[in-house]
């Protein structure tokens, strides 16, 4: 089975278990809370769900290492609930109006109910993880919860920096990398790590898995940053140079602000024309910002593959799921930039 076939078999299982877990909770007089969580998870209408990348990664990793779906499932559910909790709160914090082509939760129910619904989903993520006690024992459950909450704390550190950066002129590229390691890397690292923990791996192996997931997330985010300036609008679905237009402080832009006085001057200007935005992209390329971002992305990509190679050194010994992990990494990172 290749990646696509494996995911086709895993995704319906994940979805059923996610729904069963929510349905098993006692919402009592708070049916509105259940309605909000159902909406956020994308069960209200077709086509409004996320891709479930994180729980897929948990289960793929576990099976690649010889683990069992049934033992690992609580961890897979937990990371997906956790991810959705962060989406609810991030959408309020960023004042995002739409997600998956629908109004965000706070747009529909108001900020107060949305903050609280996020908190409920955070508790539910913890309760889901606690079910590991039944499948893997209490010692593994405690380790998993520790990893989960260290990751959450890391996420909130990244998010705090991200919010501050909106008004903060001087952000160094290294602080930016620390920020995205919290916002994007940490949860993918946790997902891969939990696959190892719940399939009975030792600490060095689990550390490699964290490293793999984190590097994968970092490389993916930086590629996204590059595509946000130089991506082909026909492929990315965004307008050309969209991050320059929206004044998003992504990695290439931070390099530019650090390296080029010309770029800094234009960054200060208001109401730029299309030609001027195009000119900014060229200045960025000329001052080496594009190459520097590429190098950074490449370095994380190599780290992700190195960690995978270390975990599965011989290609002939890899089972279908291990091969699929290489395929997934390749697919997430191969996008042309």
Which positions lie near its own copies, rule CB under 8 A? 25, 27-30, 32-33, 89, 92-94, 110-113, 115-120, 122-124, 126-127, 130, 133, 138-139, 141-142, 145-146, 148-150, 152-153, 155-161, 163-164, 175, 178-179
- CA distance linking residue 270 with residue 324, whole number of Å: 47
- The smaller minimum CB distance to its own copies, of residues 119 and 336, is found at 119
Crossing angle (nearest 10°) for helices 261-268 and 274-286: 160
Read off φ and ψ for residue 102, nearest 5 degrees. -135, 160
- CA distance linking residue 57 with residue 196, whole number of Å: 11
- The smaller minimum CB distance to its own copies, of residues 124 and 253, is found at 124
Least separation in angstroms between CB 67 and its own copies: 20
187 CB neighbour count, 10 Å cutoff: 24
Residue 60 contacts residue 192 (beta carbons within 8 Å): no
- The smaller minimum CB distance to its own copies, of residues 135 and 279, is found at 135
Q: 73 Cβ partners below 8 Å, 6+ apart?
A: 13, 17, 59, 135
- The smaller minimum CB distance to its own copies, of residues 7 and 33, is found at 33
Least separation in angstroms between CB 106 and its own copies: 10
- The smaller minimum CB distance to its own copies, of residues 58 and 128, is found at 128
Least separation in angstroms between CB 92 and its own copies: 6
Least separation in angstroms between CB 171 and its own copies: 10
Where is 244: in which H helix or E strand?
helix 242-245
Least separation in angstroms between CB 263 and its own copies: 24
- The smaller minimum CB distance to its own copies, of residues 25 and 262, is found at 25
DSSP-derived secondary structure for 263-320: HHHHHH-SS--HHHHHHHHHHHHHTTHHHHHHHHHHHHHHHHHHHHHHHS--GGG--H
Least separation in angstroms between CB 94 and its own copies: 8
């Amino acid at each position: 089975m290749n990646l696509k076939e494996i995911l086709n078999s895993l995704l319906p299982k994940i979805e059923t278990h996610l729904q069963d877990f929510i349905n098993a909770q006692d919402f009592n007089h708070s049916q509105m809370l259940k309605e909000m969580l159902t909406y956020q998870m994308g069960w209200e209408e077709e086509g409004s769900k996320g891709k479930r990348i994180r729980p897929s990664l948990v289960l793929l990793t576990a099976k690649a290492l010889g683990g069992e779906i049934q033992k690992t499932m609580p961890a897979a559910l937990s990371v997906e609930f956790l991810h959705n909790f962060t989406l609810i709160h991030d959408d309020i914090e960023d004042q995002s109006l739409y997600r998956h082509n629908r109004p965000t939760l706070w747009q529909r129910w108001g900020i107060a109910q949305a903050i609280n619904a996020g908190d409920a989903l955070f508790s539910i993520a913890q309760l889901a993880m606690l079910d590991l006690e039944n499948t893997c024992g209490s010692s593994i459950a405690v380790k998993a919860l520790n990893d989960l909450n260290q990751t959450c704390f890391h996420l909130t550190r990244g998010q705090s920096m991200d919010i501050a950066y909106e008004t903060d002129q001087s952000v160094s590229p290294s602080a930016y990398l620390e920020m995205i390691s919290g916002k994007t890397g940490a949860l993918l690292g946790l997902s891969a790590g939990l696959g190892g923990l719940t399939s009975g791996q030792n600490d060095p192996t689990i550390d490699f898995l964290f490293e793999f997931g984190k590097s994968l997330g970092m490389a993916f985010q930086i590629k996204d940053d590059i595509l946000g300036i130089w991506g082909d609008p026909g492929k990315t679905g965004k307008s050309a140079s969209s991050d320059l237009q929206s004044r998003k402080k992504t990695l290439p832009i931070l390099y530019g602000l650090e390296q080029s006085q010309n770029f800094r001057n234009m960054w200060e200007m208001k109401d730029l024309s299309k030609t001027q935005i195009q000119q900014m992209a060229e200045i960025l390329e000329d001052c080496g910002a594009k190459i520097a971002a590429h190098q950074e992305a490449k370095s994380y990509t190599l780290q992700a593959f190195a960690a995978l190679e270390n975990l599965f050194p011989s290609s002939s010994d890899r089972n279908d799921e291990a091969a699929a992990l290489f395929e997934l990494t390749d697919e997430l990172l191969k996008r042309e930039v």
